[in-house]
Amino acid sequence: MLNIRIDEERCIQCGECAEDCPNDVLTIDGGYPEVVAEREDQCIGCQHCFAVCPTGAFSIFGLNPEKSTPLDGNLPSPEQLNTLIKGRRSVRRYLDEPVEKSKITELIEVIANGPTGVNNRKLLFTVVENQTTMKALRTDTYEGIRRVEKENGLPPGLEIFSGIAAAATSGQDVLFRNAPHLLIVSSPEDGPSPEQDCLIAMTYFELLAAADGLGTVWNGLCRRALTQIVPETLTPLKIPKDHIIGYMMSFGKPAVEYHRTVQRGNQSINRI
């Protein structure tokens, strides 16, 4: 049920809502926008009709246009985004204090506005918020790696984890970087593009967290350890079995401050 409502006093019958619909679900043949009955089930819920309406006359799913942020005058400048992208860093030093729950919720709710294939939006963000759980996960992971190494040897290609587990014994947390939180994004494997959806969400999280003064690090080592060496450590996290684990990211309040952008250049461009 699309629950479309048109404020006829505001609607200027410009037709943008119908024009911008990716699946031709709307028509303005009758003057005001209407759903094409036989195409209603083609709606992917993208809300383009709602976002494109210049006068806020269009409502779908019961949404109130007044509750959206107007884009005019509210977008960051290209320079600001450039600085964010060049200035965000992988953070590997963290304060020993958790991020406020409300801040974590806010970040995740914003990144849930990112694109997903066919607007699937079936992402699950599993966040280790609780510090006792984070400590247990850390300990279980290192102990598990040592046990696997002793019993069967590490899987081929993962021998590096032997040194990582040894470093942990002398207090160096290479896997989790002593971060107070771990974020895992997953999505049902039968979706149109679960891997890509997860990576996009994590990319948005990294940037948004950096803009908010938080540190993050993409955690490929952790992902390999938890999924390939000690998968039992994931069980308490209750990620559905039919999900692919898209990626893992450690995050928290940084114990390091960066003062300038890096200067990477030499990007290969294949101009045709």
Ligand X SMILES: Cc1cc2nc3c(=O)[nH]c(=O)nc-3n(C[C@H](O)[C@H](O)[C@H](O)COP(=O)(O)O)c2cc1C
Helix, strand, coil fractions of the chain, as percent rounded to 5: 40, 15, 45
Stretch touching ligand X by CB under 6 A, among 1-9, 16-24, 114-122, 213-221: 213-221
| Cβ(176)–Cβ(250) below 8 Å | yes
Does residue 220 interact with ligand X by CB under 6 A? yes
Q: Which is nearer to ligand X, 26 or 210 (CB)?
A: 210
Residue 194 CB, nearest approach to ligand X (Å): 16
Please identify, using beta-carbon distances, which residue of 92 and 103 lies nearer to ligand X.
92
Quick one: which of 6, 201, 221, 226 contacts ligand X (CB under 6 A)?
A: 221
Minimum CB–partner distance for residue 218 and ligand X (Å): 4
CB of 15 to ligand X, least distance (A): 43
> Among residues 222, 21, 76, 50, which one has the least CA distance to residue 140?
222
What is the spatial distance between Cα 4 and Cα 40, in angstroms, rounded to a whole number?
A: 11
In the bound complex, which residue of the shown chain has the CB atom lying closest to ligand X?
220
- 140 — phi, psi (to 5°)? -60, -35
**Among 218, 227, 228, 255, interactor with ligand X by CB under 6 A:** 218
Of residues 88 through 117, those in contact with ligand X by CB under 6 A are: 89-90, 92
Binding status of residue 60 toward ligand X by CB under 6 A: no
Q: How far is the CB of 49 from ligand X (least distance, A)?
A: 36
**Residue 42 to residue 26: CA distance in whole angstroms:** 10
Residue 164 in the binding site for ligand X (CB under 6 A) = no
Size of the site for ligand X (CB under 6 A): 8
CA distances in angstroms from 198 to 128, 180, 208, 218, 229, listed in the order given: 17, 21, 15, 12, 22
CB within 8 Å of 245: residues ≥ 6 apart: 184, 185, 186, 223, 226, 227, 234, 239
Please select the residue that binds ligand X; options are 94, 219, 244, 252, rule is CB under 6 A.
Answer: 219
Residue with tokens 């928290």: 252
59: which strand partners? Answer: 5
Q: For residue 153, give Cα distances in angstroms to 139, 141, 145, 221.
A: 19, 15, 9, 18
Coil, helix or strand for 188? strand
Question: Given candidates 18, 214, 217, 229, which one binds ligand X under the rule CB under 6 A?
Answer: 217
Q: Does 182 bind ligand X (CB under 6 A)?
A: no
* Contacts (CB under 6 A) with ligand X, residues 73-92: 89-90, 92
Please choose, out of 54-62, 71-79, 99-107, 216-224, the segment that lies near ligand X by the rule CB under 6 A: 216-224
Tokens 């952790």: give the residue: 222
Do the Cβ atoms of 126 and 51 come closer than 8 Å? no
* Distance in Å, CB of 161 to ligand X, minimum: 11
Closer Cβ to ligand X, 18 or 229, answer by number = 229
Which stretches of the chain bind ligand X, using CB under 6 A? 89-90, 92, 217-221
